[in-house]
Amino acid sequence: MRVLVTGAGGFVGTALVDRLRACAEVSMVVATDLGLPPPGPTGADGGKDAPQAPVLQIAGDLSDPGVQARLFATPVDRVFHLASIPGGMAEQQPEVAERVNLGATRALLDACARQAQAGGPVVRFVFASSIAVLGPLHAPVDDRTPLQPVLRYGHHKRTGEQWVAQAHRTGAVQGCSLRLPGVLARPPARTGQLSAFMSDLIRAVATGQRFTCPTSPQAQIWAASRPCTVDNLLHAAQAPDADLAGPEGGRAFTLPVLHLSMEALAHACGVAFGTAGAALVDWQADASLEALFGRQPALRADAAWAAGFRHDGDALALVRRSLQG
């Protein structure tokens, strides 16, 4: 199996590539991003002596026809499309965000369609969408909650979901979109992720450092660890296609998440790492940021549970897994 990962140099992408290299059925991982780190030793199953799939790295812009030609020079069987310009950065750089979030998604789907039309394999296309498609929420969420994105990033992801569903209906791909929550714990970096404060809190409290959180202690979040997120992405690539229809056949799932307060997250960090937990956190709420990320209501992800997707289990497991490779 030949697997293509876009956004392979990112926080989730590097972990996904690492896991794919250890999968016995994977013969080649094609990793693409604007910039790519050298492949490291896999931390996945089997240890250092286990067979590992080779990684073909192709750096470049996904909207470049020359890059597309290189990515699909040999037919691919699976595509994980993770590349995007996230929330805050998308608002600041709208033209770049449109080119990456919309243009690259369209180009990838078209390339998959051409491969199928030429007699090649129909790609299982896993699209990393976002809970940003839901918009600010104040009532419990379930599979019938309407999508009302506010930020440009959310609108882009909603459009991508629609394109994936349409490509699936025409037989160009076997498509599935997963709405990812905040994925923890991202390394400190200027990535444009407005929800980075969740990761920053975990890393600070884990090392016994003080942290000023831009929410109130009662702020309610949805979160998942990076290993859990990779588990769900891999499940979307492996599950029977009939299991991935999604609510009302839309091919998109709001994933199960842990729903907890920021204070509970800080407390779990203290338990996990033997630090003072919430006592290390100063609370300085930013009303606009908390409105976007700190007022998440209860979630019933029945369709995702039925399809085999899962969350971390509890806050302590989330925190412990969040700093794993």
156-199 confidence digits (pLDDT tens):
999 999 999 999 999 999 999 999 998 999 887 665 567 889 99
Q: Do residue 31 and residue 173 come from a single domain?
A: yes
| pLDDT-based confidence at residue 54 (cuts at 50, 70, 90) | very high
Q: Do residue 55 and residue 29 come from a single domain?
A: yes
Q: With a cut of 80, say whether residue 40 has pLDDT above it.
A: no
Q: Do residue 196 and residue 294 come from a single domain?
A: yes
If we measure between CA atoms, which residue out of 36, 27, 29 comes closest to residue 7?
36
Identity of residue 100: V
Spatial separation of the C-alpha atoms in residues 31 and 39, rounded to whole Å: 10
Q: Do residue 151 and residue 265 come from a single domain?
A: no
Indicate the range of 42-56, 69-83, 167-181, 282-296 predicted with least confidence.
42-56
Q: Is residue 32 part of a domain?
A: yes
The predicted model gives 294-298 an average pLDDT of: 93
Look up the CATH number of the domain holding residue 280. 3.90.25.10
Domain residues for the domain of 22 are 2-180+225-254
| pLDDT-based confidence at residue 46 (cuts at 50, 70, 90) | very low
pLDDT score of 43: 52
If we measure between CA atoms, which residue out of 173, 120, 124 comes closest to residue 3?
124
Q: Do residue 263 and residue 168 come from a single domain?
A: no
The total number of structural domains that make up the chain: 2
The predicted model gives 199-211 an average pLDDT of: 93
The predicted model gives 264-273 an average pLDDT of: 94
Q: Do residue 100 and residue 197 come from a single domain?
A: no
Whole-structure pTM over 0.85, yes or no?
Answer: yes
The token duo for 261 is 């307060």
Burial class (CB in 10 A: 0-12, 13-18, 19+), 317: middle
Q: With a cut of 70, say whether residue 309 has pLDDT above it.
A: yes
Q: Is residue 305 part of a domain?
A: no
Q: Do residue 12 and residue 44 come from a single domain?
A: yes
Q: With a cut of 60, say whether residue 42 has pLDDT above it.
A: no
Q: Do residue 15 and residue 120 come from a single domain?
A: yes
pLDDT score of 209: 93
Q: Is residue 307 part of a domain?
A: no
Q: Do residue 213 and residue 104 come from a single domain?
A: no
